[in-house]
Amino acid sequence: MSALNELYQEIAVCQRCDLYKCRTNAVPGEGAEDAEIMFIGEAPGWHEDQQGRPFVGPAGQYLDQLLALIDFKREQVYIANVIKSRPPGNRDPLPAEIAACRPWLERQIEVIRPRMIVTLGRYSMAMFFPGKSISKIHGTAQKRDDIIYYAMYHPAAALHQQSLRQTIESDMLKIPSLLAEAKNIAEAEPPSQQLKMFEV
Ligand code: URA
């Protein structure tokens, strides 16, 4: 069994926080084990909870369109969330839920070893760009230990706020050149501080 499938089996029965009590399915993530790009959203919504797959509702359809802008299909990237079970009523994830779920995301990153991690929305951004504001850093990249970290707005935000569409689309269009010119992206300083994931 692949390392990812082993991980999915563990996540499916996870009871590290109370969200297991109300989920239909855990939503571990999906995509290529050797993906160059890993997209990290916030939490499963209703559609994702029903299907056990990330980004399959309206925000997911828009994410697919964004990927098509850079000639990627979702099977070629990896898509995950900060938390793996749907919060009731789609409420924001709680700090304790994010902390409980964090080891799963860390293991996914270890297995996939992506060249680029794209954060979608502020919960995902807060893990890798602590203390930053999405309106300031969206569309900018930092490199740490050979991984490019890149912050984008959440696709759902662009669906609700028409004015963000152009922004999220032009941020998406920067991804291929960032990958091609990775060596020119400055290493963030000081790496040891930055590497610590942020407790939200
Ligand atoms: N929004 C997210 O952040 N993740 C999903 O999987 C779906 C919607």
Provide the pLDDT confidence category of residue 188 given band limits of 50, 70 and 90. Answer: confident
Q: Looking at the predicted structure, is the pLDDT value of residue 200 above 50?
A: no
Alpha-carbon distance 86 to 88, whole Å?
6
Instruction: Enumerate residues 6+ apart whose C-beta is below 8 A from 177.
Output: none
**Averaged confidence pLDDT in the chain:** 93
Strands 141-144 and 78-81: unpaired
Residue carrying structure tokens 């239909």: 24
Is the model's pTM score more than 0.75? yes
pLDDT digits (tens, 9 = 90+) for 126-183: 999 999 999 999 999 999 999 999 999 999 999 999 999 999 999 999 999 999 998 8
Ligand 1 centroid from CA 88, angstroms: 14
Q: Looking at the predicted structure, is the pLDDT value of residue 199 above 50?
A: no
Ligand 1 pocket, Cβ-based, cut-off 6 angstroms:
41-45, 48, 54-55, 57, 59-60, 81, 156
Ligand 1 centroid from CA 190, angstroms: 31
- Helix intervals (H) in 113-196: 122-128, 134-137, 155-160, 163-173, 175-180, 191-195
Ligand 1 centroid from CA 184, angstroms: 31
Q: Among 48, 50, 108, 123, which is best to mutate for testing ligand 1, by the most ligand atoms less than 8 A from CB?
A: 48
Ligand 1 centroid from CA 55, angstroms: 5
Q: In the structure, how many helices (H) and strands (E) does the chain have?
A: 10, 6
Provide the pLDDT confidence category of residue 190 given band limits of 50, 70 and 90. Answer: low
